[in-house]
C-alpha cells in the first residue's frame, strides 16, 4: 500500500503500542502519527494493561514488545488472539506485529506460534516499520529476513530429519502447491515466486490462498513455521 493511501474507505490504520519503554513508544507514536493513513489509538506498558486497553478501543494493528513486566508479549498475544483466531474485544480484529531484539528470537518464534502475524527488530528503519504495519493490516505477514534465518537455525534440532517422509498434513496439497509453499518458506514474495516458477503473480496468489485454506492457516507466517516444522524446508544454505 502506498504511503498516504487511506484504508477502509478513508479510515486510518488504528495502531496500539505495547512496550514497557516509554521513550520507544513516544518515538513510534511520532513516526506513526505523522502518516496520513495511520493513527495511534492507545498505549500500554505491559500485557495486562494492553488487554484491558484492547477491550475498550478498536485497533487494526498491535505493535507488541515480547519482554514486559506483569505479562509478556507471548502470553498477551496468545490471550488476545485465542485458539480460534483474532479476538473481537472492542469489536475489531487486530493483527499483532512483534517487536524484538537480536537476543530474543525464541520469544518471537513463540509469539508467532501464538498467532502473531510477524516480527521485526526494534531498530528497524522507520520506512520498514511503516511498510510492515501496512502489510500486516492488508493481510500479509512480515518477518525480518535477518532474524528469520537465525530463528530457524536455532530451532533446527527441534525439526524432523530430512529423511522423514512427507507429513500427512501436507498431503492435501498438490505438487505445485507444495512447491509454492517451499518458496514462501524461503522468504520469497509472490512476484519472486512467479519469476522462479514462470507463472503470473495472480496465479501464485491463488496458490498461496489455497494453501492457507487447505492447511487452515491464518497467514504466510504460519505457513513458514509449518513448512519448517514438517520438514518440507530445512534451515541452512540456500
- Share the mean pLDDT of the chain: 80
- Give CA separation, 212 vs 105, 128, 177, 202, 205, in Å: 25, 25, 10, 16, 11
pLDDT at residue 38, rounded to an integer:
95
Q: Is the pTM of this model over 0.75?
A: no
C-alpha span between 174 and 235 (Å, rounded): 23
The percent of residues above 90 in pLDDT, for the chain, comes to 37
The Cα 173–Cα 162 span in angstroms is 19
Q: With CA atoms as reference, report the closest residue to 133 among 235, 21, 215, 13.
A: 13
Q: Which residues on neighbouring strands pair with residue 121, listed in sequence order?
A: 100
| Separation between Cα atoms, residue 86 and residue 127, nearest integer Å | 26
CB-CB neighbours of 175 under 10 Å: 7
| pLDDT at position 191 over 50 | yes
Strand partners, 38: 13
pLDDT reading at 36 higher than 90:
yes
- Angle at which helices 105-113 and 220-229 pack, to 10 degrees? 110
Report whether pLDDT(1) > 70: no
Amino acid at each position: 500500500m502506498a504511503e498516504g493511501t487511506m484504508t477502509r474507505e478513508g479510515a486510518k490504520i488504528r495502531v496500539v503500542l505495547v512496550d514497557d519503554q516509554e521513550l520507544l513508544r513516544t518515538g513510534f507514536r511520532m513516526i506513526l502519527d505523522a502518516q496520513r493513513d495511520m493513527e495511534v489509538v492507545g498505549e500500554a506498558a505491559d500485557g495486562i494493561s494492553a488487554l484491558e486497553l484492547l477491550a475498550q478501543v478498536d485497533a487494526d494493528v498491535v505493535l507488541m514488545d515480547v519482554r514486559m513486566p506483569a505479562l509478556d508479549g507471548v502470553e498477551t498475544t496468545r490471550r488476545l488472539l485465542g485458539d480460534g483466531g483474532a479476538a473481537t474485544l472492542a469489536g475489531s480484529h487486530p493483527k499483532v506485529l512483534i517487536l524484538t531484539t537480536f537476543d530474543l528470537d525464541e520469544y518471537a518464534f513463540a509469539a508467532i506460534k501464538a498467532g502473531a502475524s510477524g516480527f521485526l527488530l526494534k531498530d528497524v528503519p522507520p520506512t520498514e516499520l511503516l511498510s510492515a504495519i501496512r502489510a500486516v493490516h492488508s493481510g500479509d505477514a512480515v518477518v525480518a529476513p535477518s532474524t528469520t534465518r537465525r530463528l530457524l537455525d536455532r530451532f533446527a534440532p527441534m525439526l524432523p530429519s530430512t529423511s522423514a517422509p512427507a507429513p500427512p498434513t501436507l498431503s492435501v496439497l498438490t505438487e505445485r502447491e507444495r512447491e509454492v509453499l517451499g518458496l514462501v518458506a524461503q522468504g520469497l514474495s509472490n512476484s519472486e515466486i512467479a519469476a522462479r516458477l514462470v507463472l503470473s503473480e495472480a496465479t501464485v496468489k491463488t496458490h498461496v490462498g489455497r494453501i492457507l485454506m487447505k492447511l487452515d492457516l491464518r497467514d504466510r507466517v504460519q505457513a513458514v513455521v509449518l513448512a519448517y516444522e514438517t520438514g518440507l524446508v530445512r534451515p541452512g544454505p540456500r
